[in-house]
């Protein structure tokens, strides 16, 4: 199997295209099983109502796996379209409240501009996008996904309605009559809806990942270099868990400790110790894992480009430990982190080698040696 779920992107592109109104991308690939139509070259062959043989267990399993992975990728596309504009919406809402507080009428067109272009093409399509989990999922999973998707869809619909109301409100200059009462009343509900979408999105991603990870691992394991891919993926998952301890917002301190009282510093140091200890423990696990995985050899690919990329992946991790040690020291001494961007940059650099490895296999396969 040459393609990987997380990097193929074909279904994801189709999902986003569908959200933007390109529904024909889905229809073009459909097959008429009930009418017996099938494509043969440039011709359409009609077989009437003849019943096909009962599919084998292997084919049914393949179909279930394909549907699960397709659902995974489409769901990720929908959630990306739903979550991407949220920060911009929140920023505009905060700005509107600030303008009202200062009695400052600087931007009467902010909501019209946001509605017309700031939401992206996918966000307004979400309320009408009917995404259902496959029938092969358990009844509990179908109920879970249907409820979560409905929550996201309904919240997006209400956010769009609130934006439309604010656009009309500003266009009519009603704020002159009620002194921005509408803005003050809308802000809490808008923030609550934004939080609802974010809170619903994470469990949906986590559960669909759980369902498809096992399928994906089996498929990846079938290719000659599959174990290297699985090693790097497992390593990245643990690495991200470690960096999550260091990227917590409460420890970010771009001001380098200025304006903090000694009492506040002591409180921050005490709070940071828990997360520093967790990160340090995960670093120790990563060191053991890196040593074990580096020793994993695939005879047919010794000295290949794949092996070189594989070892660069772990070499990048070694370099990242310089920043990690500095950050841990800062957390314990000052209760703050000055350079979270360096952590993010190192994480991207490590993941880049995994992406390079997968792209090479997708493009070249065994010819990429």
Of the candidates 162, 167, 170, 156, the one whose C-alpha atom is nearest the C-alpha of residue 187 is: 162
**How would you classify residue 256: left for phi > 0, otherwise alpha for psi between -120 and 50, otherwise beta?**
left
User: Could you count the other beta carbons within 10 Å of the beta carbon of residue 88?
Assistant: 14
Reported pTM? 0.59
Judge contact between 132 and 70, C-beta under 8 A. no
Tokens in use for 63? 């179909």
CA distance 14 to 24: 10
Predicted pLDDT at 33 = 30
- Per-position pLDDT tens, the chain of length 369: 434 544 444 444 444 444 544 332 222 222 223 223 333 333 333 333 445 556 677 788 878 888 888 898 899 888 888 888 888 888 778 777 766 555 444 455 666 777 766 787 888 889 988 899 999 999 999 999 999 999 999 999 999 999 888 888 887 777 777 788 888 888 899 899 999 998 999 899 889 988 888 887 888 888 899 999 999 989 999 999 999 999 887 877 755 556 678 888 888 899 899 999 999 999 999 999 999 999 999 988 999 999 999 999 999 999 999 999 999 998 898 888 777 888 988 998 999 998 899 888 888 887 767
CA distance 18 to 74: 10
- What Å distances lie between residue 46 and 4, 35, 36, 49, 119, CA to CA? 34, 8, 6, 9, 44
Delimit the domains of the chain by residue range. 1-29+59-222, 223-369
Q: Is 336 helix (H, G, I), strand (E, B) or coil?
A: coil
């Amino acid at each position: 199997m040459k393609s990987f779920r997380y990097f193929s992107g074909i279904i994801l592109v189709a999902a986003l295209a569908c959200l933007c109104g390109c529904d024909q991308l889905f229809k073009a690939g459909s097959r008429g099983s009930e009418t017996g139509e099938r494509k043969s070259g440039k011709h359409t062959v009609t077989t009437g109502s003849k019943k096909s043989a009962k599919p084998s267990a292997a084919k049914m399993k393949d179909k279930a796996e394909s549907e699960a992975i397709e659902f995974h990728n489409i769901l990720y596309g929908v959630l990306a379209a739903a979550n991407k504009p949220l920060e911009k919406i929140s920023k505009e809402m905060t700005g509107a409240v600030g303008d009202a507080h200062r009695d400052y009428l600087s931007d009467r067109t902010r909501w019209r501009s946001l509605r017309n272009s700031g939401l992206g093409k996918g966000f307004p399509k979400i309320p009408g996008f009917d995404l259902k989990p496959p029938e092969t999922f358990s009844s509990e999973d179908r109920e879970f996904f249907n409820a979560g998707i409905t929550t996201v869809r309904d919240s997006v619909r209400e956010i769009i309605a609130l934006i439309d109301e604010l656009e009309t409100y500003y266009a009519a200059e009603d704020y002159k009559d009620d002194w921005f009462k509408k803005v003050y009343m809308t802000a809490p509900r808008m923030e609550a809806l934004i939080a609802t979408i974010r809170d619903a999105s994470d469990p949906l991603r986590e559960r669909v990942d759980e369902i498809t990870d096992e399928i994906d691992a089996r498929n990846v394991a079938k290719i000659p270099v599959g174990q290297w891919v699985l090693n790097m993926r497992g390593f990245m998952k643990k690495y991200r868990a470690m960096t999550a301890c260091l990227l917590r917002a409460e420890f970010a301190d771009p001001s380098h400790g200025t304006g903090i009282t000694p009492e506040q510093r002591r409180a921050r140091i005490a709070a940071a110790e828990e997360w520093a200890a967790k990160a340090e423990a995960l670093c120790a696990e990563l060191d053991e894992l890196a040593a074990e995985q580096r020793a994993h050899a695939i005879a047919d690919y010794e000295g290949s480009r794949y092996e070189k990329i594989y070892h660069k992946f772990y070499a990048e991790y070694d370099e990242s430990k310089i920043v990690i040690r500095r950050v841990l020291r800062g957390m314990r001494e000052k209760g703050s982190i000055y350079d979270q961007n360096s952590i993010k940059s190192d994480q991207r650099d490590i993941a880049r080698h995994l992406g390079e490895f997968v792209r090479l296999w997708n493009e070249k396969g065994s010819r990429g040696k």
